[in-house]
Chain A
Amino acid sequence: MSPRRIRQIILEQSYRAHVGHIGSALCVADIIAALYGNVMNVPRPDDPERDRFVLSKGHAALALYAALHLKGWLSQEQLDTYCADHSLLGVHPEQALTGVDFSTGSLGHGLSFGAGAALAARLQGSARRAFVLVSDAECNEGSLWEAVMFAAHHRLSNLIAIIDMNGQQALGYTKDVLDLSPLPARWRAFGWDVHEIDGHHPDEIAGTIAGFDRATGPPHVLIARTVFGKGVSFMEGRIKWHYWPMSNEEYCQALREIGAKP
């Protein structure tokens, strides 16, 4: 799955709908491409034995919609309803939409959902796994740490969390708002199998996950170093692109920068 295509869809749809959260979606394009490209086992969106995915940072839903489209489960016509009236494609994902396993939007819920999905797989004797994409600022939420403790205690080796560590949140940089460092050490101290990776290299993401012990051992977390707004120079690392929509000029430049035609 092409991260460039995901980015192009993110830009096209957010420009058309004139909505924000562009930087957050661009940021996870490579992670989503890796997961839906060749990491997760999802032969069909309704296959009961499919791996489960929780987009705990629901505000990056457009990246997920792009992946569902590239998988062939979401038509171009559906995609073009993003944020339109009577559309299931809102700013945050709804489980009623084919391909979305869990509705999200309020931070701090998703890791618990994923831990439940992983526990269900174990109880049902299934090899399926649960993947949860978490934002770094989401680690501000106390409820997340409840799930972190549970998953480690029960050694849910079929649970994989990926932290999109872009270092910023809605109103500022995480180091200024509520410093998370040292985040890898914190997760390690809670008993997780911690891997620090470059979140913009799908092959590295896939390769790291391929080496995981799926049967025993602790749950796994990828702490993925990312750049907010990745691929569009004027968005990268800029707080305002958490919410800001694009002008026509900005849209054309953004497309050029990711190598797509306006």
Chain B
Amino acid sequence: MRGAFCQTLSELAGRDARILLLTGDLGYMALEPFAEKFPGRFFNVGVAEQNMVGLATGLAEAGLIPFVYSIVTFATLRPYEFIRNGPIQHRWPVRIVGIGGGLEYSHQGVSHQGLEDVGVMRLQPGLTVIAPADHQQTRAALQATWDLPGPIYYRLGKDDKTIVPGLDGRFSLGRAQVIREGGDLLIITMGSIAAEAAAAAEALSAQGVASTVMVVASVSPVPVEDLAALLMQFPVALTIEAHYTVGGLGSLVSEVIAERGLSCRVVRCGVKTMPTGLSGDLNYLYRAHGLSREALVETALREVGK
């Protein structure tokens, strides 16, 4: 997704001189296309994320549209108060771009794993939060939102190859996308783990369980109507996210159910405990947290009583 992000941003920047790109010294083999094309609008500010967001606030006040880029944890948690007191409080168009949402920086360890970013970012009012599921949706989301008047957080993955089947690069702010339809089970997912969710749905189908799969990329604003319309049709919904189960997609879906007085039960599949520190690749970590497609199938079968 970072390749799609940089490519799309470069195209937009060619049309709109207000776009700037700031990085906290990350983005090797990712940001070069922008940096080479717009050297005067690209700033490596050094390993200083608080200042990066503060700078972006000052730049946005003057009518510019700064994108600030780092790994999810460094883009959100380190400068969190700057994000709150800067672009959010002033309602200015700073774009926070976090790379490696979830467990994608697997071998890098807990410090690099973005497991609470959606939770902390979506609780800020006036902040648009977007978590695309693949690189095609990343491109569409960026094209649809880059010039919104207020601040935005983009939670991106690293993968520029995998395509979530049935998504076809669709994105619409405040809407969710259905990528598969079936009557036995509802699966709601967010971010790059959507590919695992889709694979699990395919495997479930072979075992006689037909799933509807919905992708939520527009986390804020919440696609309340799209979610409620499906949740009222199912007795149980699995939420699948590479994020702590508190605060993320599972919480968001539970809020919709509670506020609408729906009867759907939610099974939150996500990271439930602090990672142990044991290293491994992404698939290892998905297995460790019950998020591999095999584990998701097992959970789904148990929950639908098969």
Contacts and interface: CB of A to CB of B under 8 A. Distances in A.
B56 interface: yes
Interface stretch (B57-65, B114-122, B165-173): B57-65
A52 B61 contact: yes
A153 B55 CA distance: 14
A interface majority secondary structure: helix
A106 B81 CA distance: 9
Interface in B36-90: 40-41, 43, 45-46, 48, 50-51, 53-64, 66, 81-82, 85-86, 89-90
Nearest to A120: B62
A103 B45 CA distance: 23
Given A117-B58, A118-B58, A112 B90 contact: no
A114 B55 CA distance: 7
Contacts of A95: 89-90
Nearest to B56: A116
A171 B45 CA distance: 34
B58 A116 contact: yes
A49 B58 CA distance: 14
What band does the interface of chain B fall in when counting residues whose beta carbon is under 8 Å from A? 20 to 34
A146 B57 contact: no
Contacts of A114: 58
A123 interface: yes
B45 A120 contact: no
Contacts of A120: 58-59, 61-64
A112 B62 contact: no
A143 B82 contact: yes
B46 A149 contact: yes
Contacts of B81: 106, 109
A227 interface: no
A113 B50 contact: no
A105 interface: yes
A104 B85 CA distance: 8
Contacts of A133: none
A102 B56 CA distance: 13
Contacts of B41: 123
B85 A116 contact: no
A55 interface: no
Interface string A85-123: 000000000010000011111101101111111111101
B54 A113 contact: yes
A124 B64 CA distance: 9
A243 interface: no
Contacts of B51: 112, 115, 143, 146-147, 149-150
Interface of A: 48, 52, 95, 101-106, 108-109, 111-121, 123-124, 130, 142-143, 146-147, 149-150, 153
Interface of B: 20, 40-41, 43, 45-46, 48, 50-51, 53-64, 66, 81-82, 85-86, 89-90
Given A112-B82, A116-B54, 6 more contacts: A102-B61, A103-B89, A117-B62, A123-B40, A143-B51, A149-B46
12 contacts: A102-B90, A103-B89, A112-B53, A112-B57, A115-B51, A116-B58, A116-B61, A118-B58, A123-B40, A123-B64, A124-B62, A142-B50
